[in-house]
Chain A
Amino acid sequence: MDTLGYLGQGFGVALSPYNLVTALCGTLIGTVVGLLPGLGPINGVALLIPIAFALGLPPESALILLAAVYLGCEYGGRISSILLNIPGEASTVMTTLDGYPMARKGLAGVALSLSAWSSFIGALIATCGMVLFAPLLAKWAIAFGPAEYFVLMVFAIVCLGGMAGDKPLKTFIAALIGLFLSGVGIDANSGVYRFTGDSVHLADGIQFVVLVLGLFSISEILLLLEKTHHGHQAVKATGRMMFNLKEAASVFVVNIRCGVLGFIMGVLPGAGATLASAVAYMTEKRMAGASGTFGQGDKRGLAAPETAIGASCCGALVPMLTLGVPGSGTTAVMIGALTLYNITPGPLLFQQQPDIVWGLIASLFIANVMLLILNIPMVRIFTRILSIPNWTLVPVIAIITAIGVYAVHATTFDLFLMIAIGIFGYILRKLDFPLSPLLLGFILGGLMEQNLRRALSISNGGLEILWSSPISLTVWALTIVMLTLPVVRIWRKRSLQRRALADV
C-alpha cells in the first residue's frame, strides 16, 4: 500500500501548476522536435538538458520536462509517418505500414487520434507495470554489489548486440568505442590524466552533451545534405478528427496485448521501442490471419505498433530508475541529465528521493493525457511544420546545437570537439555502424570501470568475485545466451541457404 501513497504524493508533485506548465511546454516542444526530419527523442532531450539546467529548474521539474519531451518526440515522429509516409525515427517505421494507407483513405484525423489513444493505453499499462514492479525491482536491486553491477552492464551491452540482429560485430565495436571514450579525462581513483593530450579542456572528460549533439545533430546535418527535398506535401487531415467508440472497441484487445508486450520489451535493456513495435506488428498480423487487411490501412495494424511504442517508452524507464542501467539511447541521455543534477539513479533513489521517482511516473501519465488532448486541436498546426524546407531548418539546428554545447562550459574547444565527433559519427553512419550503442557504452563506461575496480578491490584482485554470487551467475548465463543468439541465427541462415542451393 506504500506504493499507492507514494504515487499519490507523486501526483501531488506533478499536478502543481508550475510542473503542469512545464509538462505542457515539454510535450509541445517534443512534438515539434519529433516532427522535424532527422531530429528524434535523443536530440530533443539532449538539446534541452543545458537549457533546463540554465533555466534553473528544480530537479523534479527538469525531469518532468525531459520525460514530457521524450513522449512528445515519440508522438511527433508518428505524425510524419502517418501523414507523409516518412518515419521520423526507426521505431515508427511500423506505423507507416498501416497509418499512411489510412490517411490516404481520408481517415488521417482518425488515424492520428487513434494512434494517440493506443499509445496512451500502452503507456497506461506500462505505468501500472512500473508501479507494480519498479519498487520490487528496486528492493531486489539492493542485493547487487559492484561485481553484480559489472556483470549486469556487460549483459546490457551484449543485449544490444544480440538484439541488433544483422550486425552484431558493428554494434559491439560501436559500444566499445563508447566505453573507451568514457575513460578520457582524469581518473577519479588515482588522479592520472588519461588520453587528454595535455589539454586542460579534456581534463574532466568528454562532455556528455558534446558527444550526443556531435553524434546525432551534426552527423544528421551532414546526412541531410544528401537529400535535396524542399519540404513535404502532407496528406491533408480533413474530416472527422476523433475516432468513435466502435473503432476504439475494435482495437481494444490489440491494445492490451501489445501494451503488455511492449512493456516487457521496454524493460529488457537494449531492446527498446524499435524492436517492440516490430514484434507487436508481426504478432498481430499473424493473429489476424486472413481476416486482416494489414498493410492497406487496418486499424489493428496501426494500433499494435503504437501501443507497443507507448508501453516500451515507459518500460525503458524501469531499468533506468531502479538499476541505473538505461534501456535505450534516450534513457541513456536522461541518465546523463540526472547526473548533471547530482542524482544517481539506482535502488537507493526510490528510498532517498521518492518524490522525484513518483513525480516522474505521475508526470508520464499526465504527459500522455496532454498529448491525447493536444492532438485534436493542434494537428493542423503540426502538419504545417512539416512543410518547413530544409534550408531554413538546417542552419537553425546547427545554431541551436552550438548554443547547447556552448552553454555547458562556455568554451569554443567544445564546439570543435563536437564537430570532430560529428564527422566521426557521419563516417560511422555511412559505414552502417549503429550509433546508440556508442552512446550507451559512453554512459555505462564510467560505471562499469568503477564497479569492476571496486569489485576487484573487495576480492583483492581475485577475478573469481565476478562469478561468485547466484545473481552474477544468472546474469552471466543470460549473457552467454545473448552472445550465442546472433551466431546461431547467422549459422541457421547460412545452412538454409546451403539447403536451398542443394535443392537447385
Chain B
Amino acid sequence: MILQRVFALTLLAACAALAVMAWPYQAAFSYEPVGPRAFPLLMLGLMGAGLLYLAIRPTAIVRKDDEPELDRDTLRKVGLCVLLLLVFASTFESLGFIVSSILIGVPMARLYGGRWLPSVMIISLMSIGLYWLFDRVMEVPLPLGLLTVLEN
C-alpha cells in the first residue's frame, strides 16, 4: 500500500514536471487551431487525476501463487542484474559484442544459479554463435570492438 502511494506520488511529481516542461511548446507560426502542446497536456492531466485517486485510495495488489514476497536478497539480485545490463550497454561498442556479452553473460548465468564451468562454456559459444548468425549470416551489423584486430 505504502509503496503504491509513494509510486503514485512520484509519478504525479513527474507528470507535473513534464507539464511545466510542455508549457512553452508552441509553434512559431501555426495554421491549425490545436498546437503541439494540447495533447500531451491533456494526457498528463488525465494521468495526474488518476494517480491522485490512486494515491488516496490504493487498490490491493493481487499476487499470483508462485510469486514470492520481495525480500532483501531478491532486491539485491535485481540490482546486480540491472548493473550487469548497464555494463553491457556501456561496453557494447567499446569492447565489441562478443567480449561484452561474455563479460556480462557469465556473471548473469551465475546469478540465475549456473555453475562456473558450464556457464563460461555455454555463454562463450553462444556469443560467438550469435555474432556469426547475426553479423555474418543475417547482416545485422554488430560492433567487433577489441576483436577487430583478429579480422583480416
CA distance A218 to B109 in the complex (A): 15
CA distance A452 to B53 in the complex (A): 27
A176 x B127 contact (CB < 8 A): no
Q: Return the chain B residue nearest A390 by Cβ.
A: B112
Task: Check A251 for interface membership: any CB of B closer than 8 A.
Answer: no
Query: A12: which B residues are within 8 A, CB to CB?
Result: none
Chain A positions 205-249 with a Cβ under 8 Å from a chain B Cβ: 218, 221-222, 224-228, 230
Chain B positions 61-110 with a Cβ under 8 Å from a chain A Cβ: 61-62, 66-68, 70, 74, 77-78, 81-82, 85-86, 88-90, 92-93, 97, 101, 104-106, 108-110
B22 x A398 contact (CB < 8 A): no
A421 to chain B, nearest CB (A): 12
CA distance A230 to B114 in the complex (A): 9
Q: Provide the A407-427 mask, 1 if CB < 8 A to any CB of B, else 0.
A: 100101001100100110011
Q: Return the chain B residue nearest A418 by Cβ.
A: B89
Main secondary structure of the interface of A (DSSP, over half): helix
Q: Provide the B5-46 mask, 1 if CB < 8 A to any CB of A, else 0.
A: 001000000000010011001111010111110011001101
CB < 8 Å neighbour of A412 from B4, B61, B89: B89
Known: A192-B27, A430-B70. A167 touches B59 (CB 8 A): yes
Known: A173-B47, A412-B92, A416-B89. A456 touches B101 (CB 8 A): no
B33 x A398 contact (CB < 8 A): no
Known: A169-B59, A177-B47. A183 touches B140 (CB 8 A): no
B112 x A461 contact (CB < 8 A): no
CB < 8 Å neighbour of A452 from B7, B39, B62: B39
B51 x A218 contact (CB < 8 A): no
Task: Check A480 for interface membership: any CB of B closer than 8 A.
Answer: no
B43 x A176 contact (CB < 8 A): yes
Query: B110: which A residues are within 8 A, CB to CB?
Result: 391
CA distance A457 to B35 in the complex (A): 10
CB < 8 Å neighbour of A407 from B34, B39, B140: B140
CA distance A399 to B36 in the complex (A): 38
Which of A48-56, A259-267, A326-334, A372-380 forms contacts with chain B?
Answer: A48-56
Task: Check A402 for interface membership: any CB of B closer than 8 A.
Answer: yes
Known: A183-B43, A395-B123, A427-B7. A225 touches B53 (CB 8 A): no
Task: Check B146 for interface membership: any CB of A closer than 8 A.
Answer: no
Query: A227: which B residues are within 8 A, CB to CB?
Result: 66, 68
A195 x B40 contact (CB < 8 A): yes
Known: A189-B32, A225-B74. A431 touches B109 (CB 8 A): no
Known: A176-B46, A190-B30. A221 touches B81 (CB 8 A): yes
B33 x A456 contact (CB < 8 A): yes
B126 x A399 contact (CB < 8 A): yes
B66 x A416 contact (CB < 8 A): no
CA distance A290 to B70 in the complex (A): 42
Offer 22 A-B interface pairs, CB within 8 angstroms, sorted by A: A54-B138, A54-B140, A167-B59, A176-B47, A176-B50, A183-B39, A183-B43, A222-B82, A389-B114, A392-B119, A392-B122, A395-B106, A398-B88, A398-B105, A403-B140, A407-B140, A415-B92, A416-B90, A419-B82, A432-B62, A448-B39, A457-B33
Q: B-side interface residues toward A, CB under 8 Å?
A: 3-4, 7, 18, 21-22, 25-28, 30, 32-36, 39-40, 43-44, 46-47, 50-51, 53-54, 59, 61-62, 66-68, 70, 74, 77-78, 81-82, 85-86, 88-90, 92-93, 97, 101, 104-106, 108-114, 119, 122-123, 126-127, 130, 134, 138-142
Q: A-side interface residues toward B, CB under 8 Å?
A: 50-51, 54-55, 166-167, 169-170, 172-173, 176-177, 179-180, 183, 187, 189-192, 194-195, 218, 221-222, 224-228, 230, 389-392, 394-396, 398-400, 402-403, 406-407, 410, 412, 415-416, 419, 422-423, 426-427, 430-432, 445, 448-449, 452-453, 456-457, 460-461
Besides A173-B51, A176-B47, A449-B39, 10 new A-B residue pairs in contact (Cβ under 8 A), listed by A number: A183-B40, A190-B27, A191-B27, A391-B112, A392-B119, A392-B123, A400-B130, A403-B142, A407-B134, A432-B62
